[in-house]
Structure 1
Amino acid sequence: MEFRHLGHSGLLVSEISYGNWITHGSQVEEDAATACVRAALETGITTFDTADVYAGTKAEEVLGRALKGERREGLEIFTKVFWPTGPGRNDRGLSRKHIMESINGSLRRLQTDYVDLYQAHRYDHSTPLEETMEAFADVVHSGKAHYIGVSEWTADEIRAGHRLARELRIPLVSNQPQYSMLWRVIEAEVVPTSEELGLGQIVWSPIAQGVLSGKYLPGQPPPAGSRATDEKSGANFIARFLTDEVLTRVQELKPLAEQAGLSMPQLAIAWVLQNPNVSSAIVGASRPEQVHDNVKAAGVKLDADLLKAIDAIVDPIVERDPGKTQSPAQRP
């Protein structure tokens, strides 16, 4: 495993981190989830990403139990706050009330005294940014989180949040966006702003919801049991990639992966790690062998000719519009 600094901070994270968005507490049984966490630890992954909303808070509980007994100082545990976690009007968003209640709930479920990174899961247009950042400052100053991050914020939102974080003397060090060969909306604005301000990207869906694995074939129904057939596993997220044009071009990447001595998932993960602003790529798994395969992308260097060949294939199907980075217009 290779390690990178999270933005300009002193925190080192594993190049590949383990996330449990649509697996723990939902798609797979707890024994399988625990086996995947054990596999992650065995392969050198030390960074684990979750959120209070995943599986209706169950994902944090599963991860907490799976990591119990590990040396806490040897792990980097990340979680998030924003999406609804209860039926009440204030069980959502980035109000002071919700942040304070959510951090306590997350720590209880994760069975830890602190998280290394506490992230705003989206930007809250219904709450003054000053209120949100002041609440995050209290979370950090109370020792419940070491660093603050955001997820899917625009460049302007990141800049405004960073300014307040500096005033409040708290470390805003990261952004967690979707990023892959097919989804590059952060490259034009978010990445340059983050580089300027010292934030690193912790990217999710580097395999484009599994599409870049090559298992989805043009003109054929999705494989039985795949993410595309399971509403609980993010079928709505993957749908936009399941066109014949996208799937045909993804198949054309297979010879390039073979040329590089990589599996298709390894090529996809290695590709996002070529971006120097990416601190870590999040992978999920329903089976331990997937973890063992994905982690082989760590430390891989793709040469310039290979990167050009990849671009030549996927360029017509790449989404680059910065406007695709957006949060709900009002509190969900």
Structure 2
Amino acid sequence: MEFRYLGNSGFKISEITFGNWLTHGSQVENDVATQCVQAALDAGISTFDTADVYANTSAETVLGNALKGERRESIEIFTKVFWPTGPGGKNDVGLSRKHIMESINGSLSRLQTDYVDLYQAHRYDVSTPLEETMQAFADVVRQGKALYIGVSEWNAEQIRAGHALAKDLGIQLISNQPQYSMLWRVIEEEVVPTSEELGLSQIVWSPLAQGVLTGKYLPGQPAPEGSRATDGKGGADMVKGWMKDDVLTGVQKLKPIADEAGLTMAQLSIAWVLQNPNVAAALIGASRPEQVESNVKAAGVKLEPAVMKQIDDAIGSLAETDPAKTISPNLRDV
């Protein structure tokens, strides 16, 4: 495993980070989830990412139980706040002071820890004044409940405004957590340059494009049983945007490139996002321990410029690049 600094800070995280979105507390049994976390620890992963909304708080509970007994100083725990939790009451959502202050306490209890290393705004809240949000985050940091602050799926303008307020308040906004993969490159034009300028890193989710970049989905053929595309608990909805024959055909062109590099298609895809110097970590999930053991081998892989060009040629115009695709919901319309 290799480790990278997160933003312009002295804080290091494992470049492969384990995330439990869409799996723990919902799609897989808790004992299997614990096995996946143990496989991550055994592989050298020290950084774990979750959110209060995952499985409506159950994912945090599962992760807290799985990490029980680990030396707290040797691991990094990230969580997030924004989306509705609990019964979904009028104040159970967003980035108001009330929701942030209540949510951090709930997360810490479920994770069985006194603090999280990184507390992230899961989306930008267009319904709450940014000053209110950042003041609440500053208070969370000053209370020792979080060491650093991050955001997720904020656009360049939102990151710039949040960074300025954080600086005024004396806290560090050091990361953004966007979707990023060979097929989804919307951060490259605006978010990455802004983040480089301000000293933020990316912690990227879905580097496998919901599993499509593993190559297991073939054009003109039904999805394999047990795959995310057949999951009725939410997985199928997330992956359906990629389940088009032109995309699946383009993805199959990556197989000889991966073979030549001595990698699986999944390892190639994870290694690809890590070639971006603004990316501090790639998030991987797992429903089986073997998936962790395989995908973690992308750590430390260096792809030559010729290989990167081959990948660009294979994917071509299939990749989404429009920075306007980073959109925050308006909670007042919900």
TM exceeding 0.5: yes
Q: Which residue of 2 aligns with 1:101?
A: 102
Local SS of the residue matching 1:186 = coil
Contact 1:27–1:233 (CA under 8 A) maintained in structure 2: no
Local SS of the residue matching 1:132 = helix
User: Match for 2:324: what amino acid?
Assistant: G
Local SS of the residue matching 1:232 = coil
Per the TM alignment, residue 237 of structure 1 is displaced from its structure 2 partner at its CA by: 1.6
Q: Give the number of aligned pairs.
A: 332
Q: Which residue of 1 aligns with 2:216?
A: 215
Q: In 2, distance between residues paired with 1:329 and 1:196?
A: 28
Local SS of the residue matching 1:195 = helix
Per the TM alignment, residue 246 of structure 1 is displaced from its structure 2 partner at its CA by: 0.3
Local SS of the residue matching 1:228 = helix
Contact 2:94–2:331 (CA under 8 A) maintained in structure 1: no
Local SS of the residue matching 2:119 = strand
Any residues of structure 2 matched to 1:140-179 within 5 Å, and which?
140-179=141-180
User: Match for 1:117: what amino acid?
Assistant: L
Q: In 1, distance between residues paired with 2:100 and 2:247?
A: 40
Tell whether 2:261 aligns with 1:246.
no
Deviates more, 1:31-40 or 1:86-95: 86-95
Q: Which residue of 2 aligns with 1:64?
A: 64
Q: Which residue of 2 aligns with 1:55?
A: 55
Tell whether 2:188 aligns with 1:187.
yes
Q: In 1, distance between residues paired with 2:285 and 2:232?
A: 17
Q: Which residue of 1 aligns with 2:33?
A: 33
Encode CA deviations 1:120-172: one digit per residue, 9 max, x unaligned: 00000110000000000000000000000000000000000000000000010
Per the TM alignment, residue 329 of structure 1 is displaced from its structure 2 partner at its CA by: 2.4
Local SS of the residue matching 2:28 = coil
TM-score by length of 2: 0.99
Contact 1:78–1:119 (CA under 8 A) maintained in structure 2: yes
Q: Which residue of 2 aligns with 1:283?
A: 284
Contact 1:23–1:233 (CA under 8 A) maintained in structure 2: no
Q: In 2, distance between residues paired with 1:68 and 1:196?
A: 38
Local SS of the residue matching 1:109 = helix
Local SS of the residue matching 1:62 = helix
Q: In 1, distance between residues paired with 2:182 and 2:67?
A: 32
Encode CA deviations 1:17-44: one digit per residue, 9 max, x unaligned: 0000011000000000000000000000
Q: In 2, distance between residues paired with 1:191 and 1:235?
A: 29
Encode CA deviations 1:227-283: one digit per residue, 9 max, x unaligned: 011132421121111100000010111000000000010000000000000000000
Encode CA deviations 1:83-129: one digit per residue, 9 max, x unaligned: 00033100000000000000000000000000000000000011000
TM-score by length of 1: 0.99
Q: In 2, distance between residues paired with 1:201 and 1:296?
A: 20
Tell whether 2:270 aligns with 1:269.
yes
Gaps of 5+ in 2: none
* Displaced runs of 4 or more, over 6 A: none
Local SS of the residue matching 1:231 = coil
Q: Between the two proteins, what is the percent identity of the paired residues? A: 73
